[in-house]
Amino acid sequence: METGIKDFVRPVEASAITELLPAPPRVLALGEPTHGEDSLLDLRNTLFRQLVEGEGYRTIALESDCLRGLTVDAYVTAGEGSLDDVMQRGFSHDWGVSRANRELVRWMRDFNANRPSDDHVRFAGMDGPLEITGADSPRQALTGLHDYLAAHVDTDLLPCTPDRLDDLLGADAPWINQAAMTDPSQSIGRTPETRELRLLADDMVTLLETQAPHLAAVSSPDDRSRAHLYGRTAVGLLRYHSWMAGTSPARMARLLATRDEMMAGNLLALASRGPVLVHAHNSHLQRDKSAMRMWGHAKVEWWSAGALVSTRLGDQYAYLATALGTMKHQGVHAPPPNTVEGILHALPEPQCVIDAAQLNAAARHTAAVPRVSPYFGYAPLDPSHLPRIDGVVYVKDVPHD
């Protein structure tokens, strides 16, 4: 430990993060190696509060359903609904039961309570209406987009009537059939009706774009933003369902890539209105290719949302990974001994921010400082990805029952 590792370790606080970066990025992403670890979520809340209060960030995006997130945003900005109801209806992936997520939403509402609307911190889901076991019906997105257009443009321009849209959508049950994820024959993603819906979704999104000057004059920025969200989500969901029905060897890779493309579209849209703080799994935020194995498949690779956003925003996208010393719960075991997680117990700080670039530079000159590999929530990725991380936020082990 005589390698000078203490020279590039700082206590966890927002200033330690901003000092890693040449300028405040438009999108500041904080990744996690596994879901549901409360100590990391508490640390996220602390950092996000500091960055909102001290650095002017006014949007917080989590790895949750973007349409459900509208419910959370209405609560934190306007006080619509109760906190209990919002936590139940406003999150996907069962994230609403998280104590830390509840505390974050509560704090956002309190922060906004006595502020003007143009200084509110907004909430957003960055994910599509997707679960690992399947996808939602595109009904909410398609009907929401159609309703917005019908209220503001000549009905002769609309590609279909509400009744025709409803007929094509049919019942929701076939759309949300979880068996379709592992059995493509049970998916309705390539039926004639679904193919027509994809064309109609494309036509409505095109109408949204071609009528932009008129729509800007007759509707609010929030209404237009929501309409574009509906359009992105409708197109993405229909594309996702189409790949669920596919039998190509690339099926799973295309599903994962489609999901991350939806995430990237949402993040870029949020960034267009102001600086964004993001929290999601490392595999969705890293700049390099992500990889995982599931359901007996060979390793699947795809470009993450972070890689896509970074390509568009360049150094306006910053990514930090979070890591624990060891995790022997939730099916995640201790990392290999040749990763930095294994030696950080000797550091004086129980929580710290590590300059990844300096750490990697030290690793090239001495075998005593290995490279960081903070991805062990899924199949471990190549530690050479480290130079693509701006920093690592590290938390020592916490006891678990």
Provide the sign of the torsion angle of the four alpha carbons 366, 369, 372, 373, taken in this order. positive
pLDDT of residue 285: 93
Whether residue 44 contacts residue 63, with contact meaning beta carbons closer than 8 Å, is answered with no
State the pLDDT at residue 399: 47
Which amino acid, one-letter code, is at 204?
Answer: M
Which residues does 254 contact at the CB level (< 8 Å), separation at least 6? 243, 246, 248
Q: How much is the pLDDT for 339? A: 43
End-to-end CA distance of the chain: 31
The SS3 of residue 226 is helix
Cα torsion angle, 171, 176, 178, 179, sign: positive
The phi and psi torsions of 65 (rounded to 5 degrees) equal -55, 125
Collect the ranges in the chain with pLDDT lower than 70: 1-7, 294-297, 325-350, 359-387, 396-401
pTM: 0.89
CB proximity list for 317: less than 8 A, separation 6 or greater: 25, 26, 27, 29, 287, 306, 309, 310
Helices (H) and strands (E) in the chain — how many of each? Answer: 14, 12
pLDDT on residue 329 = 37
- Predicted local confidence at residue 42, as pLDDT: 93
